[in-house]
Amino acid sequence: MSKPPTAFADVEEFDAAGTLAAAEQAVRDRRAGEAHEVQLGLRWADLHTTQPHEPERTVRGGVKLVQLGGEGTPKLQDLAICELAIARSQHTHATRAFLADALDLRHRLPELYDALRGGQVDLWVARKVASMTRKLCPGAAGLVDRAVTPAVAQGPGRVLSIAEAKVIEADTAQARTEREEGRRKRYVAITPTDEETGLRTVIAAVVPADAVWLDAHVERVADALDQRRDLIPDLPENCTRDELRSAALGWLAHPEDVAALLAGEEQPQGNGATTRNAVVYVHLHQAALEGADAVARVEGLGPQLVDELAGLLGHARVTVAPVIDLADQASVNGYEHPQKVRERTLLRTIGDVFPHASTISRSVDFDHPDPYKPNGPPGQTGDHNAAPLGRRHHRAKTHLGYRVRQLGPGTYLWRTPHGLLRLVDRNGTHHVDPAKARELADSGALDAIADRTDISGKSVNPEEDS
């Protein structure tokens, strides 16, 4: 068959021509869907461009107008981004960037925006051009727009190359300043642990001379380690040169050991074996403490085999102890969450519990899901009523009528101002329908969450937890 069947039919029925025709249609459908997403995002922005209160009235931590896009784009309410992010199943930061690009496309790059709506260009390419031109004035952005749009049929590489050149041409003085500043910037970054290999990647920007000397030193240490394989028992006898160089770079983190190795000492400590004091948060199942094979999750590193934990501290004398029992629960009569409650809550949640939040951090505010009442009953603050939230998400919850109920340690049921229901637990964020939400909570517990008539768009108590 040369004509493809209807969308999402069984592809096993396609012949070669039908497969190609369906692939072409899939690109058209994807681009149409992307353009529709952009238009929905812009509509949400248009609905939230007005100041929610009188300009002279200041609300501590309340909604404010912000400009996400470049010069010439309209402002919108900052906290409105949060609910759209939930609908898009994204972190707020991702939706914020999406809206900034969408606004730039519509207001500053109209020709490229028309090409996007016409299915001529992928959204990621259009967004890249938008972010590249955000620092330019509207006139300069228009110069880039008129140059790149005719080239969209030539492919992403060509479009972005033209955009880069035109951005420099549009403001050569600024480009020269940025390049001079860039040559003075140096950094070292370490990626998260790769779940498959258990390794981390080190990335660094250094001056050429330092790079040459560092490479030479890595080679020298690798040669020395090649003669002392007993010092790196985790590497096989037939290891590659790259494996040796990686081990050598790790040794450079412990200069005293490298000095001993290069001096030819018979018993260098090896891999930073000098005892150091350190605190490492390791999450273990009870079975691991009883001797069973298990995987530990180390904060800041990711999953580790239990027998790899010794390497974290640079020596083999490691005692793993359940210093914090997450089965414990406590409550207090005061407003502030005590440190023990904060610690247990963060170990259960690993960061922000706002729907679709992905940030793993201890830099969070602590909110009372059941609002604290100054003259209320004792024991309002504790493990049963503690929700870590990023600052923006905390503000949105406080001022925009979000409802949240804590169903148990580390489990939260959310309702947004416009009725989206989400369950957040240790496994992430889950879509929940009203019937399931009512099933999850005790009878009557969802009155403020699932009852759609309760939505006012305002906080029950704007002063609570601000």
At residue 283, the pLDDT reads 67
At residue 285, the pLDDT reads 61
- Listed ranges 33-37, 194-198, 213-217, 299-303; the one with the highest mean pLDDT: 33-37
Structure tokens at 354: 């706002």
Placement of tokens 């031109």 in the chain: 133
Looking at the predicted structure, is the pLDDT value of residue 266 above 90?
Answer: no
Edge-to-edge strand list for the sheet holding 411-415: 403-408, 411-415, 421-425, 428-431
The percentage of the chain sitting over the pLDDT mark of 90, rounded to a whole number, equals 25
What are the phi and psi torsion angles at 297 (to 5°)?
-110, 120
DSSP string, 362-410: S--EEE-SS---TTS-S--EEGGG-EEE-HHHHHHHHHS--EEEEEETT
Placement of tokens 């999850």 in the chain: 440
63: nearest Cα among 50, 77, 74, 76: 77
- Listed ranges 108-122, 312-326, 329-343, 437-451; the one with the highest mean pLDDT: 108-122
When comparing pLDDT for 323 and 222, which is higher?
Answer: 222
User: In a 10 Å sphere around its CB, with 0-12 CB exposed, 13-18 middle and 19+ buried, how is residue 19 labelled?
Assistant: middle
When comparing pLDDT for 68 and 161, which is higher?
Answer: 68
Looking at the predicted structure, is the pLDDT value of residue 11 above 90?
Answer: no
151: nearest Cα among 95, 111, 194, 184: 111
Average pLDDT over residues 287-314: 59
Domain extents for the chain?
11-179, 190-262, 276-323, 333-454
Q: Which amino acid is at 173?
A: A
Q: How far apart are CA 5 and CA 461, in angstroms?
A: 56
Inter-helix orientation angle 156-170/172-183, to 10°: 100
Question: Which pLDDT tens digit goes with each residue over 204-213?
Answer: 887 666 787 8
At residue 113, the pLDDT reads 97
User: In a 10 Å sphere around its CB, with 0-12 CB exposed, 13-18 middle and 19+ buried, how is residue 320 labelled?
Assistant: middle
Range of lowest pLDDT (35-49, 84-98, 279-293): 279-293
Cα separation values, 78 from 63, 84, 99, 403, Å: 6, 11, 11, 19
344 in helix, strand or coil? helix
Looking at the predicted structure, is the pLDDT value of residue 29 above 90?
Answer: yes
Range of lowest pLDDT (44-48, 195-199, 260-264, 317-321): 317-321
271 in helix, strand or coil? coil
Question: Which pLDDT tens digit goes with each residue over 107-140?
Answer: 999 999 999 999 999 999 999 999 999 999 999 9
At residue 8, the pLDDT reads 58
Which letter does DSSP use for residue 193 in this model?
A: P
- Listed ranges 86-100, 229-243, 403-417; the one with the highest mean pLDDT: 86-100
User: In a 10 Å sphere around its CB, with 0-12 CB exposed, 13-18 middle and 19+ buried, how is residue 110 labelled?
Assistant: middle
Q: How far apart are CA 385 and CA 404, in angstroms?
A: 11
Tell me if 254 sits within 8 A of 280, measured CB to CB.
no
The percentage of the chain sitting over the pLDDT mark of 70, rounded to a whole number, equals 74
Looking at the predicted structure, is the pLDDT value of residue 273 above 50?
Answer: no
Structure tokens at 243: 């494996």
Average pLDDT over residues 18-32: 90
Looking at the predicted structure, is the pLDDT value of residue 218 above 80?
Answer: yes
30 contacts: CB under 8 Å, gap ≥ 6 = none
When comparing pLDDT for 206 and 88, which is higher?
Answer: 88
Question: Which pLDDT tens digit goes with each residue over 143-202?
Answer: 999 999 998 887 888 888 888 888 887 777 777 777 677 777 788 888 888 878 888 888
At residue 314, the pLDDT reads 52
At residue 409, the pLDDT reads 84
4 in helix, strand or coil? coil
**What is the rounded average pLDDT for all residues in the chain?**
79
Cβ count near 158 (within 10 Å) = 13
Q: What number of helices (H) and strands (E) belong to the chain?
A: 17, 15
Range of lowest pLDDT (4-18, 74-88, 123-137): 4-18
Q: How far apart are CA 97 and CA 90, in angstroms?
A: 11
Looking at the predicted structure, is the pLDDT value of residue 102 above 60?
Answer: yes
pLDDT class for 239, splitting at 50, 70, 90? Answer: confident
Looking at the predicted structure, is the pLDDT value of residue 406 above 60?
Answer: yes
Question: Which pLDDT tens digit goes with each residue over 354-368?
Answer: 998 876 667 788 888
At residue 453, the pLDDT reads 31
Global confidence as pTM: 0.65
